[in-house]
């Protein structure tokens, strides 16, 4: 088959993870002061590079929408016709609280943590990450699939993939999109681009830093990974406190 010019021209989707959320507080779904700085720095960096976007998307979560706001403000000043934030439910993160509570409902000794004890882990980042990683591993293996209110791993992946297909179908040749989302959806996108297994996708999700940029390119032939977990704007700030994972 002869490759046409239409197939050769690649479009871009920049997936930007939300800034640092308010870990250990009663409202995790809220940017911390560091998260607010991260969002502003990334938006300023993209504006300085002269990077315009044909559309800006986010999931429904407050931390995702608020990370998008500084870039939206730049677009109001430079590209007012493209400054609307488009909400796409497919970009939501999986429900981590539901998974933690599911584990307490299915756990047997030697894993007898109560719901209160699980939530108390929020005061210790390392302890929480170890417990949460194991919880998500169990989710991938289907341990919670029969519980009411649990979105299974296959369903989650299907939702994210359908969201990416929606973006591709609505923005064709030569488009550039900004998508503000979370580590879980970004890991599924990388899985799509590289053909990874679910275990490797999960490993990658723990490496995705707050306010990092991951880019895929797409055309009629498919998608490819161009950039992964880029934190250059934060590194250029010279403040190590801006390099965060949670």
Q: Is residue 205 part of a domain?
A: yes
Q: Is residue 223 part of a domain?
A: yes
Query: For position 77, what pLDDT does the model report?
Result: 76
Cross-strand pairs, 213: 16, 230
Cross-strand pairs, 59: none
Among 58-62, 63-67, 160-164, 220-224, whose mean pLDDT is lowest? 220-224
Q: Is the pTM of this model over 0.75?
A: yes
* Two structure tokens written together for 196: 């990874």
Query: For position 6, what pLDDT does the model report?
Result: 47
Cross-strand pairs, 177: 13, 55
Q: How confident is the model at residue 171 (pLDDT cuts 50, 70, 90)?
A: very high
Q: Is residue 116 part of a domain?
A: no
DSSP alpha helix (H) spans, the chain: 5-8, 33-48, 62-78, 96-106, 115-120, 125-140, 153-170, 183-194, 198-205, 232-237
Q: Is residue 134 part of a domain?
A: no
pLDDT, average across residues 231-245: 96
* Two structure tokens written together for 54: 């044909």
Domain residues for the domain of 24 are 5-92+175-242
Q: Is residue 192 part of a domain?
A: yes
Provide Rg for the chain, Cα atoms: 19
- Rounded Cα distance between 241 and 84, Å, is 31
Is residue 208 scored above 70 in pLDDT? yes
Q: Is residue 157 part of a domain?
A: no
pLDDT, average across residues 86-114: 82
How many alpha carbons fall within 13 Å on the CB side of residue 208?
Answer: 27
* Cβ atoms of residues 40 and 205 within 8 Å: no
Q: Is residue 30 part of a domain?
A: yes
Distinct helix (H) and strand (E) counts, the chain: 10, 6
pLDDT, average across residues 40-51: 94
Query: For position 119, what pLDDT does the model report?
Result: 56
Query: For position 115, what pLDDT does the model report?
Result: 54
* Two structure tokens written together for 192: 């799509």
Q: What is the CATH number of the domain that holds 64?
A: 3.40.50.1240
Query: For position 2, what pLDDT does the model report?
Result: 39
Burial class (CB in 10 A: 0-12, 13-18, 19+), 39: buried
Q: How many domains, in total, are found in the chain?
A: 1
Q: Is residue 148 part of a domain?
A: no
Residue position matching structure tokens 């990658």? 204
Close Cβ partners of 234 (under 8 Å, ≥ 6 residues apart): 38, 41, 42, 209, 211, 242, 243
Query: For position 1, what pLDDT does the model report?
Result: 35
């Amino acid at each position: 088959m002869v490759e046409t010019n239409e197939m050769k021209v690649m479009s871009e989707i920049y997936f930007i993870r939300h800034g640092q959320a308010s870990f250990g507080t009663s409202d995790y779904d809220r940017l911390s002061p560091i998260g607010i700085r991260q969002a502003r720095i990334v938006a300023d960096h993209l504006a300085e590079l002269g990077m315009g976007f044909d559309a800006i998307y986010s999931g429904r979560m407050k931390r995702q929408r608020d990370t998008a706001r500084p870039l939206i403000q730049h677009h109001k000043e430079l590209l007012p016709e493209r400054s609307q934030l488009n909400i796409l439910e497919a970009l939501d993160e999986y429900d981590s609280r539901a998974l933690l509570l599911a584990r307490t409902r299915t756990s047997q000794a030697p894993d007898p943590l109560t719901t209160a004890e699980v939530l108390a882990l929020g005061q210790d980042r390392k302890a929480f990450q170890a417990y949460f990683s194991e919880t998500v591993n169990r989710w991938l293996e289907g341990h919670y699939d029969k519980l009411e209110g649990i979105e299974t791993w296959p369903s989650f992946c299907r939702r994210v993939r359908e969201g990416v297909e929606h973006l591709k179908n609505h923005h064709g040749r030569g488009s550039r999109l900004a998508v503000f989302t979370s580590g879980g959806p970004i890991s599924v996108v990388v899985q799509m681009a590289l053909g990874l297994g679910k275990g490797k996708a999960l490993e990658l999700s723990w490496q995705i830093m707050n306010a990092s940029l991951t880019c895929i390119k797409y055309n009629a032939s498919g998608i490819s990974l161009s950039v992964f977990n880029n934190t250059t704007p934060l590194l250029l700030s010279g403040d190590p406190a801006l390099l965060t994972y949670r």
